[in-house]
Structure 1
Amino acid sequence: MTHDPIAITGVGLVTAIGIGNQEYFDGLLSGHNGVTSLADRTDGDVTPDENEPVDGVWVGAPITAFEPKKYVRPRKALKVMCREIQIALASAHLALEHAGIEGPLTDDGALSPSRVGTVYGSELYYTPPADLVDSIRSSVDESGEVMLSDFGAAVRRDVMPLWMLKFLPNMPACQVSIAINAQGPSNTLVAADASGPNALAEAISYLQRNLADLVLCGSSGTRIGALRLAYHGDLPTVQRGERSLEHTAVAHGREACGVVGGEGAASLTLEPLTRAQQRGATVMGIVSSIASRFVAAESIRSGTYSGELHPKHSKGSAPALKLAIQATLEQADLTADQIGAVVSHAVGELGMDQAERTALAETGINAPLVAPYASLGHTGAASGMIELATAALITANNQVPPTRNADLAAEDCFLQTPQFLKQPHVLALSQTCEGAATAAIISQP
Structure 2
Amino acid sequence: MQSRRVVITGMGQISPLGMDLDSFANALGAGVSGIRKIESLPADALPSPYAGEATEFTGHIGDFGDVSKEQTRSIRKNLKVMCREIQMGVAAAQRALQHSGLAVGDYDPEKSGVIFGSDYMMTLPEEFDKATAACLNEGGEFAFEKWAEKGLPEITPLWLLKYLPNMPASHVAIFNDMRGPNNSITLREASAGAALGEAMMTIARGHADVIISGSTGTRVHETRTVHTFLQDPINEGSDEEAGRCLPFDLNRRGMVIGEGAGALVLESLEHAEARGAKILGEVLGQSISTGWNADRTADRPTAIANALAIVCRDAGIKPGDIQHINSHGLGAQQSDWDEAAGLTKFLGDLANKTPVIAMKSYFGNLGAGSGIVEVIGSLLAQQRKTLPGTLGFATRDPKCDLNVGCEPQEISSDGVFVSLNFSPQGQASAIAIRGV
TM-score normalised by the chain length of structure 2:
0.89
Question: For each residue in 1:151-179, what CA deviation from the matched residue of structure 2 results, as whole angstroms up to 9, or x when unmatched?
Answer: 45454232211111111110000000111
Question: For each residue in 1:106-136, what CA deviation from the matched residue of structure 2 results, as whole angstroms up to 9, or x when unmatched?
Answer: xxx3312222111111221112222222333
1:17 aligned onto 2:25: no
Q: Is the CA contact (8 Å cut-off) linking 1:18 and 1:24 kept in structure 2?
A: yes
- Give me the whole-angstrom Cα distance separating, in 2, the residues matched to 1:155 and 1:20: 43
- Give me the whole-angstrom Cα distance separating, in 2, the residues matched to 1:241 and 1:361: 35
* Percent of aligned pairs sharing the same letter: 28
Match of 2:37, as an amino acid? S
- Deviation of 1:98 after TM superposition, in Å, equals 0.9
Q: Is the CA contact (8 Å cut-off) linking 1:218 and 1:268 kept in structure 2?
A: yes
- Give me the whole-angstrom Cα distance separating, in 2, the residues matched to 1:238 and 1:157: 42
* 2:3 corresponding residue in structure 1: 3
- Give me the whole-angstrom Cα distance separating, in 1, the residues matched to 2:362 and 2:210: 31
- Give me the whole-angstrom Cα distance separating, in 2, the residues matched to 1:225 and 1:409: 33
Distance 1:166 1:285, change over 3 A: same
Q: Is the CA contact (8 Å cut-off) linking 2:166 and 2:183 kept in structure 1?
A: yes
Match of 2:326 among 333, 338, 343: 343
Classify the secondary structure of the residue corresponding to 1:406: coil
- For these two proteins, the number of residue pairs brought into alignment is 417
Q: Is the CA contact (8 Å cut-off) linking 1:62 and 1:262 kept in structure 2?
A: yes
* 1:163 corresponding residue in structure 2: 159
User: Which deviates more from structure 2 when the two are superposed, residues 76-85 or residues 19-28?
Assistant: 19-28
User: Which deviates more from structure 2 when the two are superposed, residues 401-410 or residues 335-344?
Assistant: 401-410
CA RMSD in angstroms comes to: 2.2
- Give me the whole-angstrom Cα distance separating, in 2, the residues matched to 1:14 and 1:157: 36
- Deviation of 1:388 after TM superposition, in Å, equals 2.5
- Give me the whole-angstrom Cα distance separating, in 2, the residues matched to 1:64 and 1:176: 23
Match of 2:42 among 38, 47, 52: 47
- After TM superposition, the structure 1 = structure 2 runs for residues 18-417 of structure 1, keeping only pairs within 5 Å, are 18-38=18-38, 40-41=39-40, 46-48=41-43, 52=44, 56=47, 58-68=49-59, 69-70=61-62, 71=64, 73-74=73-74, 75-102=76-103, 105=104, 109-231=105-227, 233-240=230-237, 242-247=239-244, 249-255=245-251, 257-296=253-292, 301-302=294-295, 317-364=300-347, 365=350, 366-407=353-394, 409-411=396-398, 412-416=401-405, 417=407
Match of 1:118, as an amino acid? V
Q: Which runs of 5+ in 1 are unaligned?
A: 306-314
1:437 aligned onto 2:428: yes
* 2:418 corresponding residue in structure 1: 427
* 2:69 corresponding residue in structure 1: none
Q: Is the CA contact (8 Å cut-off) linking 1:395 and 1:425 kept in structure 2?
A: no
Match of 2:248, as an amino acid? H
- Deviation of 1:192 after TM superposition, in Å, equals 1.2
TM-score normalised by the chain length of structure 1:
0.87
Classify the secondary structure of the residue corresponding to 1:192: coil
Q: Which runs of 5+ in 2 are unaligned?
A: 65-71
- Deviation of 1:415 after TM superposition, in Å, equals 2.6
Q: Is the CA contact (8 Å cut-off) linking 1:33 and 1:246 kept in structure 2?
A: no
- Give me the whole-angstrom Cα distance separating, in 2, the residues matched to 1:403 and 1:155: 50
Distance 1:320 1:148, change over 3 A: same
User: Which deviates more from structure 2 when the two are superposed, residues 110-119 or residues 93-102?
Assistant: 110-119
- Deviation of 1:256 after TM superposition, in Å, equals 5.3
- Give me the whole-angstrom Cα distance separating, in 1, the residues matched to 2:419 and 2:340: 13
